Amino acid sequence: MPARAVSINLCTDQLAMLLAAPGQLASVSRISLDPHVSPMAEEAARYHNNAGRAEEVHALRPDVVLAGTYSSRETVALLRRLGIEVVQFDIVDSLDDVSAQIAQMGAALGREARAAQVIAEFEAGLADLRADLNALHGEHPRAALYYANGYTSGDASLAGEILATAGLHNAPAEAGYDWGILPLEMLAMIDPDVMITARRYPGGSRAEEILDHPVVGAMRGQTGRGALTDHDWVCGTPFVLRAIGDMVAARRALGSDG
Amino acid sequence: MTRLTAVLGAGVALLFAASLLTGPAEIGVGDSLSALLLGGDTPAAMVMREIRLPRALLALMIGGSLGLAGAAMQGYLRNSLADPGLIGVSGSAALGAVLSIQTGVAGAVAFSLPAFALGGALIGVFAVLALAGPRGTSLTLILAGIAISALAGALTSLVLNLSPNPFAANEIVFWMMGSLADRSMVHVGIAIPFIAIGAFMLARLARGLDALTLGEDAAAAMGISLRSLRLTLVFGTAAVVGASTAVAGAIGFVGLVVPHILRPFVGARPGALLWASALGGAIMLLAADIAVRLILPERDLKLGVLTAIVGAPLFLHLIYRTRREGL
């Protein structure tokens, strides 16, 4: 079991905080302090926080560094050249990958027993949600994910799986917009039953101003059921259960409206 | 002159209609028009009235503003290189707009976004005119413009980089290059009063600018007050460019290209060139905004990219000619 681990990626931060033995995790990334993307912002504040630069990571003298596959290539290469073991974790784009990734983190930290326990809890939670959903009859509403700059997510993404598990259709994906920009015009034409938008950041931006557009407002208002994505949607961690639960609640609310 | 107006007017009408019919939602011409005119609760009506109509209106207003402002500045400075984008007025307006958004004033106080942009534009125009002097040569005017543009651009980038919003820093390109994507009637509403007032002020310059072609003494003898001419020009330009930039970012070269092309058709009378350039500017921006949607339908290609591709070679040509004429 490595005595000192340092995590430099938002998603590995969360898995490491969930699994590490007391005192084993020396530092997590600074991004984990941002409650917009990090469901464990409060916990992250109790750790040392790094900016993911090779020099500061090296100075922490870690036995193992936990990184994402999209972490800076240069940083990872440099750390390996300095003789530090770096374990990279893939982007999670399905619920099955969540359990696999928890197991991978358990192995990297030498905490296999704790990982097995977290996986069991996650899978039990997922089974409960699915049983709950089977009892939920009626239409499968058509949802649209709509983020800053007019981006949407297709089915082959964690967000897509969250929708599918909750029994919502991913309407833009069905119209052929798999990943990337969904033109505002097409959003109006698709006319979804549920609009799922992201929580706003402080300070203004034109990217998020699109969410104030009268068309987006009309979609939300007409359905009366806007829903929000938040930090639970970002990483493949057990927190996605909360995201699915929120979507089931949105679907129930829509159903009770008739 | 009337024939030119008719031709330009027809061009504006045609392109305005084409702009309304351009977009990824494939709605037939008949359906588009009935959705636009009759409205209703259909998706097509929402696309036509809330997305395409404001976009076409903004291209019309902003193109007209930039053409008009370019013609007015060129007439006043008697210098065909004067364009609100090139001499830093648009850049200063963008800085004002970004400041109002990032300080939160824009969200709290109605019309503060165009007002801040107008303030920025005013500072920009005054600074350039002060640096270049009332009878500034092309060289001093362009140098002053480069300096003001660079400073305004750097400060705009700084403000956006300091923003707590992670998306803001990526929007430097919007403020420098301009776009009409996903604007709404709200934007039309905040820009229109400023553009109307500014255009009215600039239109009143026609007689003064014509007189100025005879020289300042002759103009003064004809009862033109150079001081009030200058103030009207500065405020009118700041109002139209400020409001335009506040909603669409800085779009360059329209005010350079359009007066240049139309000047021969109006017998080199700067007064007549004003309205012709307003129509010509609307044509240029409507065409550019249709082109960005046809070239890359699902990405937001910036308008300033196209106007610069057209405008920059002309600018180089004008510089070359200026050099040959010995500044």
Residue B166, burial from CB neighbour count under 10 angstroms (0-12, 13-18, 19+): middle
Using a CB–CB cut-off of 8 Å, the residues of B that contact A are 23-25, 43-44, 46-47, 50-52, 101-102, 104, 106-107, 163-168, 170-171, 174, 182, 184-186, 297-300
Minimal C-alpha gap between A18 and chain B (Å): 27
Q: Which pLDDT belongs to residue A222?
A: 62
Q: Are strands A169-170 and A226-229 parallel, antiparallel or unpaired?
A: unpaired
> Which tens digit of pLDDT belongs to each residue from B229-267?
989 999 999 999 999 999 999 999 999 999 999 999 998
* B58 interaction partners in chain A (CB closer than 8 Å): none
Per the prediction, chain A carries an average pLDDT of 90
A142-257 has the same fold as A5-122: yes
Q: Is A150 within 8 Å of chain B by CB?
A: yes
Q: Which pLDDT belongs to residue A257?
A: 52
- The domain of B279 spans 2-324
Q: Which pLDDT belongs to residue A258?
A: 43
ipTM, two decimals: 0.80
Are the Cβ atoms of A185 and B168 closer than 8 angstroms? no
Could you give the strand order of the β-sheet that contains A85-89, starting from the edge strand earlier in sequence? A48-50, A25-29, A5-7, A64-68, A85-89
Q: Which pLDDT belongs to residue A251?
A: 84
Nearest-by-CA chain B residue for A213: B184
Q: What is the mean pLDDT of each run of 10 residues along chain A (258 residues)?
A: 93 96 95 93 95 92 93 90 93 92 96 96 94 80 90 89 92 88 91 87 84 86 71 93 90 68
Per domain, the residue ranges of chain A are 5-122, 142-257
Q: Which pLDDT belongs to residue A104?
A: 96
Q: Which of B45, B126, B96 is nearest to B247 (CA)?
A: B96
Q: Which pLDDT belongs to residue A155?
A: 86
Interface contacts A/B by beta carbons within 8 Å = 84
CATH says A5-122 is which class?
A: alpha beta
> Which tens digit of pLDDT belongs to each residue from B85-107?
888 999 999 999 999 999 888 88
* A213 interaction partners in chain B (CB closer than 8 Å): 50, 182, 184
Q: Which pLDDT belongs to residue A61?
A: 93
Are the Cβ atoms of B298 and A208 closer than 8 angstroms? no
* A201 interaction partners in chain B (CB closer than 8 Å): 164-167
**How crowded is residue B183: how many other Cβ atoms within 10 Å of its Cβ?**
23
> Which tens digit of pLDDT belongs to each residue from A118-139?
999 999 999 999 988 887 777 7
Q: Which pLDDT belongs to residue B123?
A: 95
Q: Which pLDDT belongs to residue A134?
A: 82
> Which tens digit of pLDDT belongs to each residue from B291-322?
999 998 777 889 999 999 999 998 888 888 87
Distance CA A6, CA A19 (A): 13
To the question of pTM greater than 0.95 for the whole model, the response is no
* B44 interaction partners in chain A (CB closer than 8 Å): 189
Minimal C-alpha gap between A72 and chain B (Å): 19
**Three-state DSSP class for B218?**
helix
User: Per the structure, how many domains does chain B have?
Assistant: 1
The backbone torsions φ and ψ at residue A64, rounded to the nearest 5 degrees and listed phi first, read -145, 140
**What is the domain-level CATH number for residue B103?**
1.10.3470.10
At position B326, the amino acid (one-letter code) is G
Whole-number percent of chain B with pLDDT over 70:
98
> Which tens digit of pLDDT belongs to each residue from B129-182?
888 876 667 788 888 999 999 999 999 999 999 988 888 888 898 999 999 999
Q: Is A188 within 8 Å of chain B by CB?
A: yes
Distance CA B118, CA B94 (A): 9
Nearest-by-CA chain B residue for A183: B298
CATH dotted code for A142-257: 3.40.50.1980
Minimal C-alpha gap between A190 and chain B (Å): 8
Q: Is A181 within 8 Å of chain B by CB?
A: yes
